[in-house]
């Protein structure tokens, strides 16, 4: 039987470009594809030497670095389950992940090791190591003497390679179990959809604790033998500085608005670029248009979730329709369904449901949630609301739980936000529903306006909206704020807005 281990599949072409640089950092550190092969072998061997068996979990909460990516690849190579954690998580949150996932190994930032030590003892975690951003710490120290060869542990395609707790903006996190097949099939699909080749240079600015930076970005590059310019995080001036040396960039929409605030971003700085990709949160039409005007690049927007990896993408060749997240990727099926589960015709709004080799098998130790989130015929219920046009392009209109029902009428926040965002002086907006004795919920807008827009008021905003949308959709109240609360992936945290405004 062939080995379906994801590492083996990602690394199948490594030997063709062993001497090529795979990863380079701004401070001049470099790893060739041979180094990647050797270093991940050494680390996999080290995990093996600890007596870890296939399927045990390795939790990692470290700053982004090339070494952190090597640890991920080594876990997969050793048949272990990789569990990345956001560096922003605090003790109480870490305690939850430890008790839920029961990892055998925890890899912490050097400065957090003492704090984690106590928790590790409480949750019987056998091995605790630290790893600093420049490869310092006990993990690499202790593994250094080991040999640099190690065969990828044989795995079946449906065995779990990674456990990613969904960032969600509400509720308790759930661990999405992603298999070797889920990850490998999505990587191959994206590599081909986005035309990655060994000539590409990916400017990698995304975090490694989320599917976007860990899988979508890194896998495309590794599978193609491309080079990654590896930044420790996103800073707009640094990204603009390195763009002339890159061909592809991936980011969340916030990255693009921040890049636009850099005067140095222009056609010249993007001359070597062939592709800008956006996802993880909605890209505003204004951002798309402004970016096109400034750089000559039409940002390619795609759509995915932790649970399904990537589902749809605007095309590399062909029309990139602004406001849509493109068409279903090769091998992925997307349908729109009513609450009853009945598939809806093109043009109608309903829940986006997905099926394909990319879709996860369920949540870690939560069979009841897994059952709720799949239909009887095994379509995954994304919780996103959307519609398909005649050409199969998908538009997301909001989250099912964001849907506002006011006086019995459905209001899709995205529709109202798009209108508000087009008004002069508006930088961005979020529309939410707050509890209302009369209407059940009332529509409320939270708006960030530009410093120059002093004349924009609740009255003028409401009057303008009345020209475009039915009265029941017009916000009953408007709050002006300096900025909208967002999580690490740039998603607006509507639950926080609802809490603050008493919904």
Chain contacts with ligand AMP (rule: CB under 6 A): 166-167, 211, 279-282, 301, 303-306, 325, 382, 384, 396, 399, 489
Which residue lies nearest ligand AMP, judged by its C-beta? Answer: 306
Among 100, 304, 131, 272, CA closest to 199: 272
Residue 370 CB, shortest distance to ligand AMP, in Å, is 16
Identify any residues that bridge with 343 across adjacent strands, giving them in sequence order: 337
**CA–CA separation, 32 and 252 (whole Å):** 28
| 137 or 207: CB nearest ligand AMP | 207
Q: Which is nearer to ligand AMP, 157 or 253 (CB)?
A: 253
Q: What is the dihedral of CA 177, 179, 185, 191, to 10 degrees?
A: 70
Long-range contacts of 462-471 (CB under 8 A, 24+ apart): 464/423, 465/416, 465/419, 465/420, 468/419, 469/415, 469/416, 469/419
Question: Do residues 158 and 190 lie in contact, with contact meaning Cβ atoms separated by under 8 Å?
Answer: no
Q: What would the DSSP string read from start to end of 139-196?
A: HHHHHTTS-S--PPPP--TTSEEEEEE---SSS---EEEEEHHHHHHHHHHHHHHTT-
CA distance 127 to 107: 8
Least CB distance from residue 307 to ligand AMP, whole Å? 7
Shortest distance, position 422 Cβ to ligand AMP, whole Å: 18
Rounded to the nearest angstrom, the gap between the alpha carbon of residue 12 and the centroid of all alpha carbons in its chain is 25
> Closer CB to ligand AMP, residue 160 or residue 489?
489
Given phi > 0 = left and psi -120 to 50 = alpha, else beta, which region is 221? alpha
Q: Which is nearer to ligand AMP, 65 or 280 (CB)?
A: 280
Q: Which is nearer to ligand AMP, 247 or 353 (CB)?
A: 353
Nearer to ligand AMP, 270 or 277 (CB): 277
| Least distance CB 302 / ligand AMP (angstroms) | 6
Tell me whether residue 227 or residue 355 sits nearer to ligand AMP (CB atom). Answer: 355
CB of 225 to ligand AMP, least distance (A): 27
Q: How far is the CB of 455 from ligand AMP (least distance, A)?
A: 31
* Least distance in angstroms from the C-beta of 304 to ligand AMP: 6
């Amino acid at each position: 039987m062939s080995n379906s281990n994801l590492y083996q599949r990602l690394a199948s072409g490594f030997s063709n470009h062993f001497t090529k640089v795979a990863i380079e950092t701004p401070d001049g550190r470099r790893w060739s594809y041979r180094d990647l092969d050797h270093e991940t072998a050494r680390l996999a061997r080290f995990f093996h030497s600890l007596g870890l068996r296939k399927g045990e979990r390795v939790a990692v909460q470290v700053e982004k670095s090339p070494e952190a990516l090597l640890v991920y690849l080594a876990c997969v190579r050793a048949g272990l389950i990789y569990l990345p954690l956001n560096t922003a998580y605090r003790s109480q949150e870490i305690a939850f992940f430890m008790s839920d996932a029961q990892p055998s190994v925890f890899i912490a930032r050097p400065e957090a090791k003492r704090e984690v030590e106590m928790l590790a003892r409480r949750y019987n975690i056998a091995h605790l190591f630290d790893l600093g951003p420049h490869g310092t710490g006990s993990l690499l120290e202790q593994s250094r003497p080991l040999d640099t060869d190690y065969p990828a542990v044989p795995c079946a395609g449906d065995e779990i390679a990674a456990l990613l707790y969904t960032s969600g903006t509400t509720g308790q996190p759930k661990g999405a179990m992603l298999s070797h097949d889920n990850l490998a099939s999505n990587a191959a699909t994206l590599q081909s959809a986005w035309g990655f080749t060994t000539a590409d240079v990916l400017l990698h600015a995304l975090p490694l604790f989320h599917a976007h930076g860990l899988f979508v970005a890194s896998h495309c590059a590794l599978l193609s033998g491309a080079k990654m310019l590896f930044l420790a995080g996103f800073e707009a001036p640094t990204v603009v500085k390195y763009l002339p040396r890159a061909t592809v960039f991936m980011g969340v929409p916030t990255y693009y608005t921040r890049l636009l605030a850099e005067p140095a971003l222009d056609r010249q700085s993007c001359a070597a670029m062939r592709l800008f990709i956006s996802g993880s949160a909605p890209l505003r039409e204004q951002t798309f248009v402004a970016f096109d005007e400034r750089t000559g690049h039409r940002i390619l927007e795609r759509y995915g979730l932790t649970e399904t990896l990537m589902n749809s993408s605007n095309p590399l060749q062909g029309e990139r329709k602004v406001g849509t997240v493109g068409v279903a990727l090769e091998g992925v099926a997307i349908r729109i369904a009513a609450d009853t589960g009945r598939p809806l015709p093109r043009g109608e709004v309903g829940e986006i449901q997905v099926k394909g080799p990319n879709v996860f098998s369920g949540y870690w130790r939560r069979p009841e949630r897994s059952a709720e989130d799949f239909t009887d015929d095994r379509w995954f219920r994304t919780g996103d609301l959307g519609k398909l046009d005649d050409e199969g392009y998908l538009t997301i209109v909001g989250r099912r739980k964001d849907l506002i029902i006011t006086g019995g009428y459905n209001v899709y926040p995205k529709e109202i936000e798009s209108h508000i965002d087009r008004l002069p002086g508006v930088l961005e907006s979020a529309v939410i529903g707050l509890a209302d004795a009369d209407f059940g919920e009332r529509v409320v807008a939270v708006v960030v306006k530009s410093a120059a827009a002093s004349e924009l008021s609740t009255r003028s905003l409401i009057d303008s909206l009345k020209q475009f949308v039915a009265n029941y959709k017009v916000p009953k109240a408007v709050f002006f704020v300096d900025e909208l609360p967002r999580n690490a992936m740039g998603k607006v945290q509507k639950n926080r807005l609802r809490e603050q405004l008493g919904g």
